[in-house]
Structure 1
Amino acid sequence: MLKKWVIGNWKMHGSLADNKALIDGIRAELPALDARVGMVVCPVFPYIPQLKQITAGSGIGVGAQDISEFAKGAYTGEVAGPMLKDVGVEYVIVGHSERRTFHGEHNEQIARKAKAVIETGLIPVVCIGESLEERQANQTEAVLTAQLDALFAVVGTDNANIILAYEPRWAIGTGVAATPDMIQAVHSFVRAYLTKRSAAVAGLPILYGGSMKGSNAASIVTLPNVDGGLIGSAALNAAEFVAIYKALVASVA
């Protein structure tokens, strides 16, 4: 699996026309992707088939924003892993801060969702991060440890096909990004945690998510142990998304 990634989380945005215009804009600026840096876009469920069609041949991967922990059954409103695989999904975001905040998802449930992704043969993008109150109480490392402990207790530590995304919950959709020193400290902590867990997971990509945009991308993606970005609002703007991607390519040149 690639080490460097730019993943766009479109959240609850998009339309057939807007989606096409966005991908057309990205492809116009990036007629060919750099083989060292992966790009993924994650639309809402109804637009996944369209995204598979309009990204064909571009190298852009298509992901989903959530998954059911169950493979099938009487779970109204849920979408199972095999269904996502059926329509061409390759990656699935799990544990996003908005799922934790608005849907009450907890560490163990998120771990089960990550396992469902893996069992389907897809790659989970597992989000971890602390709230503002937890950071102010100096609980960041304890919170991240609990989240990672819960994850690996369920999925094991022998799978290298996992992407982690550190997203300080207080920087999601606020326009406020963590400082480079804050990001560096957390990513170094997570890398040390992974190294202690097992050789298989020691090198997992660790992305940063939290108000990254074209203007601050270079200062973030060049930090040690920052392997790319999980991008929210900036992923809805072709110029911004391309600028972040180019900053990451430049960081590995």
Structure 2
Amino acid sequence: MSTPIKPMVAGNWKMNGLKAGQAELHKMLAGISDDLADCVDVMICPPATLIASFSEKVTGNVMAIGAQDCHAAASGAHTGDLSAGMIADAGAKAVIVGHSERRTDHGETDADVNAKAQAAWSAGLVAIICVGETEAERKAGEAVAVVERQLAGSVPDGATAQNTVIAYEPVWAIGTGLTPTAGDVAEMHEAMRVDLAKRLGAEGSAMRLLYGGSVKPGNAAELMAVDNVDGALVGGGSLKADDFLGILAAYQ
């Protein structure tokens, strides 16, 4: 009998947040009961400037702090970049790689994402690998094929349920208020599960598959109840404690 997958809800603050954001972090921590923490792993991925200070505020198993990106190299002449080791040294436990905004704004390829995921592992971090199709690709009926291609190129050999999380975020739903139907999400997550299990065996079957893209308190319960959805990667809905706690309430 397989072990149930413990869900994860991770908040991606993107390029938002100053020191004053610690007030929202404190509200979040105060609102997460021990019972809830037993049911779901909670993570906040603030901008790099806040990783160290946020990590100092988080104690016990209530919440972990993650990062939003890393460089594939361990060190070197890469002005403005941060290595996975630096991020881990600041207190992060995981790092998002391959977010569609990085792929679009910085031209990151599947190969780049693959290298960053391996760098994350080398530093002892969990790699949260993002995949997702554009609106044009979905309208063309290519959504599943696009995501399967991204998984093949972005997920390194050696990925396990312990060192890797997959986040499916349809590009057209990120920050737009648009959300795919529960049926659309179920179809994609089943396809990803089958694909990962075929390639990685038991590790692929046990790997957490998060949904992201306009997740909010009003739709979280429905989305989190979909088969093969093991939590959420939340953008704007994670910036305010009340909204984030409302999303977490899907697991209460």
TM-score w.r.t. length of structure 1: 0.93
Q: Which amino acid aligns with 2:59?
A: A
What RMSD over aligned residues (CA atoms) do the two structures have, in Å?
Answer: 1.6
Q: For the Cα contact (< 8 Å) 1:214–1:244, is it kept in 2?
A: yes
Aligned-pair identity in percent equals 39
State the number of aligned residues.
247
Residue 215 of structure 1 corresponds to which residue in structure 2? 218
Residue 75 of structure 1 corresponds to which residue in structure 2? 78
Q: For the Cα contact (< 8 Å) 2:37–2:61, is it kept in 1?
A: no
**Separation in 2 of the partners of 1:242 and 1:235?**
8
TM-score w.r.t. length of structure 2: 0.93
Instruction: Give the deviation of 1:169 after TM superposition.
Output: 0.3
1:100 matched to 2:103? The reply is yes
Residue 157 of structure 2 corresponds to which residue in structure 1? 155
1:49 matched to 2:30? The reply is no
Q: For the Cα contact (< 8 Å) 1:63–1:90, is it kept in 2?
A: yes
1:159-238 equivalences under 5 Å are: 160-197=162-199, 198-238=201-241
**Separation in 2 of the partners of 1:26 and 1:58?**
13
**Separation in 2 of the partners of 1:220 and 1:180?**
6
Q: Which amino acid aligns with 1:22?
A: E
**Separation in 1 of the partners of 2:11 and 2:138?**
26
Residue 65 of structure 1 corresponds to which residue in structure 2? 68
Residue 132 of structure 1 corresponds to which residue in structure 2? 135
**Separation in 2 of the partners of 1:161 and 1:85?**
14
Deviations 1:199-236 (A, max 9, x none): 22221000000000000001100011001100000000
In structure 1, the gaps of 5 or more residues are: none
Change (3 A) 1:243 1:185: same
SS in 2 for 1:220: helix
Instruction: Give the deviation of 1:58 after TM superposition.
Output: 5.9
**Separation in 2 of the partners of 1:103 and 1:117?**
19
- Quick check: 69-78 or 196-205, which moved more? 196-205
Residue 145 of structure 2 corresponds to which residue in structure 1? 142
Q: Which amino acid aligns with 2:29?
A: R
Residue 7 of structure 1 corresponds to which residue in structure 2? 10
Deviations 1:56-81 (A, max 9, x none): 34621000000001000001111001
1:90 to 93, 114, 132: 93
Instruction: Give the deviation of 1:29 after TM superposition.
Output: 1.9
Q: For the Cα contact (< 8 Å) 1:160–1:201, is it kept in 2?
A: no
Q: Which amino acid aligns with 2:30?
A: A
SS in 2 for 1:183: helix
Q: For the Cα contact (< 8 Å) 2:197–2:204, is it kept in 1?
A: yes
**Separation in 1 of the partners of 2:160 and 2:132?**
23
Instruction: Give the deviation of 1:155 after TM superposition.
Output: 3.4
Q: For the Cα contact (< 8 Å) 2:193–2:204, is it kept in 1?
A: no
Instruction: Give the deviation of 1:27 after TM superposition.
Output: 2.2
Q: For the Cα contact (< 8 Å) 2:217–2:243, is it kept in 1?
A: yes
Instruction: Give the deviation of 1:53 after TM superposition.
Output: 1.7
**Separation in 2 of the partners of 1:13 and 1:144?**
28
Instruction: Give the deviation of 1:151 after TM superposition.
Output: 2.6
Residue 34 of structure 1 corresponds to which residue in structure 2? 37
**Separation in 2 of the partners of 1:215 and 1:105?**
33
Q: For the Cα contact (< 8 Å) 1:10–1:44, is it kept in 2?
A: yes
Instruction: Give the deviation of 1:35 after TM superposition.
Output: 1.3
2:23 to 18, 21, 43: 21
Q: Which amino acid aligns with 1:187?
A: H
Deviations 1:43-99 (A, max 9, x none): 111111110122234621000000001000001111001111111110100000110
Q: Which amino acid aligns with 1:226?
A: V
SS in 2 for 1:35: helix
